[in-house]
Each structure stands twice: as C-alpha cells, then as structure tokens.
Structure 1
Amino acid sequence: MVAVPLGVGLGAAVVAVVLAGGAAARSPTALASALGRLLPVAARVSWPRLRRRLGADPAATGRDWAAQLRPLVPGPAAGVLLFVTALGMYFLDAGALAAAARSVLPVLPWAALALGWVAGQVGMALQLTPGGLGLVETSLGGALLGAGLTVPQAAVVVAVYRGANWLLPALLGWAVYLLLAPGARRDLPRPHE
C-alpha cells in the first residue's frame, strides 16, 4: 500500500469538490438535483434558522436556489479569464513582497517570504479585518523574524510591502471616489454641529 501525505490527500479532495461543484453549477438539472438531495438532509439537522429558511419543501427550495444561481455561473471563456486574472494578481502580489524585501535586504530569504506571504493570504481570506489588517503584518513579520532578520529589517519590509500593496491603493481609491463620484461629498456623513 502506498502512503499518501495528508496534505496531498486534502488537496486532491478540495480539487475534486471544486470540480464537482463547477460541473454541477453548469448543469441546472444537476445543481437542482444535488440541492434537492442535500437540503432535505440539512433540514433534519437541528438548526432552527436553517429549517425556517428551507421551508416546508426543501427540495423545492433547492430547485429555486439552483434557478437563482444559474445566471451567476460564468461560461468557460469567462471562467478561464477570471482564473488567469486571479493567478496574475497573486504573482504580482508576491512580486511586490519580493521587491519590498529586496529594497531592504541584500539576500532574499525566499522560504520565509513564501511562508509569510501564504500566511498573509490566509489572514486576508479569513476576512476578520479589512484587508487582513494586523493578520498579514504579524504573520509576515513573524516569518521574517523566524528567518533571522532583525526587528527593524522585518518591520521595514512589512511596512513597505503593506504600504505599497494595501494602504496606497486604498488611499488613492478614496481620493478618486471623492473627486469623481457625483454627489460623493453630499453623501458623506457630517459631524454634529
């Protein structure tokens, strides 16, 4: 028997679920059938809020949900474009981290940068704070400190990376919004006088 590492097994399971979900989402009858089978099982679970949402006929609710989700599923060309765009954004983000580190360090600790970047992406995906504020900085800083950087070096790398990657685009976005949005100044909350 061949031993499969846990990470490979979990990764394969995630890929299988994503592919099955994508196939089901592209076929309205398959999606309605899957939801029609899963929702009655979910209705038996003792979650009162879920039971109320599913109503008296969970299978009919599944068919309704499938009909609502169908227009949201991109076609194959749009799906490939979305995937390539997302992949490009990840590469640009990792490149920004490498450039920020290179601006401070003569030799890049690639393993620490990769670990810190992945941990930061997980922190952002959790959406506990806007843009992963605090989570990204601590995970990246911890990885850099673990790689042997001094506190000032790690702090400068993190500050340059997050300033260029998160703070600057956010400030520019707000500035553009305030300058170009019709009536944006009118909609801003005013302090109590």
Structure 2
Amino acid sequence: GVTRLPIKSVHLNKSPMLVGNLKTLSGAMATRWGIDLEQGRAHAQLAANGPDMAAVWAQVYQKPAAPNETDVDEDLYGGFVSNNDRRKLESLRMQTPAQLATARPSFEDERLAELLRRYRARNFPETLSEAEMEAWEEHRAARLFDGAGGARTVDQLFGEIDALSETADERAEEILGALYEYVEAIAPSRY
C-alpha cells in the first residue's frame, strides 16, 4: 500500500484554526478553545526544522490543465453575450421552426452560431439539412459513445443504472427503468 504524508489541508474560516501570530491569541482564549499553546509551539518548531517543502506544494495542489477547447454548451463563463446578439437571440426565439431553418443571423459571438445549430437539432431536427443532421449525429456519437469532452458515455450510464438497480426499491426500479429506456430512445442508432 501507499503511505500518505501526514499533511492536512486547512480551509479558511473553518475549524481547526491557524494563528499566524501567537500574540493575537491570549492565554484565556486558548484555554477557552482548548488550544495547547506549548504543543502548538513544539509543532511549529518541528515544521521549521523539517525539510523545505515550498517547491512541493505547487505540485501537490496543481490542478489538471483545462482542455484547450471548451464545448459551446459548457462555456458558461466564456464571455457575456453582447446586447446586439441578445436582441438577435430574442428574435430567433419568436420564430417558427421553418423560419429558424432559413435564418442566417450574423452573431458577434462565434459560439452562438453553433448554439443555434444545436438548438435546432435538439428541438426541431426536421429543420436540419442532410449535412447538418450528419454533423449533429457525429457530435452526439462522439459525446455519447466516445466520451468526447469528458462526457459520460451511454455504457457508463447504463453501468451506473445497473449498479443502482441492485439496491433499488420498487419505485426507484421504475424510475431507473424509465431512464434506461429514455437513454436508449435518444442515443444515436448504435443502440
């Protein structure tokens, strides 16, 4: 097995607390909170005499690199939509599916054109051209079967449903069954 280092992450504004300057902690307050000042000083001395860990912390807390390209559906913080684009989107929401199919708005934000295509594909698939439908099915297959963009695959979801159904009561079993059928219904033709 692996032996973990005796290191604890400290959350700000939560217990246990850290005191950077012991002059701010009176003996009365230490007693009230059950803090052993001598033990604290001994631990501080141990840490000071130990190896210099400064270079290690950056690696320990390094977050994995974000993917280079964020999918437009997941790009909530990619930037705000301009007022012009917002007006165009509001106008598009009032259009019929047939009008949406022929609409070619020029957005300032390049993400919105793809979002509009996906909106049509999800809500009005009959309005897609053959090329648009093919691109949509490729996108769906990449996400649902290959896990593109870190998406949960259909197989992973089915495995999770199966695992949950082993301990589910009758009502939960009905819900899981309905979820399973729904996923089968919306998944591209591979299923």
* Category of TM-score, reference length = shorter chain: under 0.3
Higher relative contact order (CA 8 A, sep 6+): 1
TM-score (norm 2): 0.27
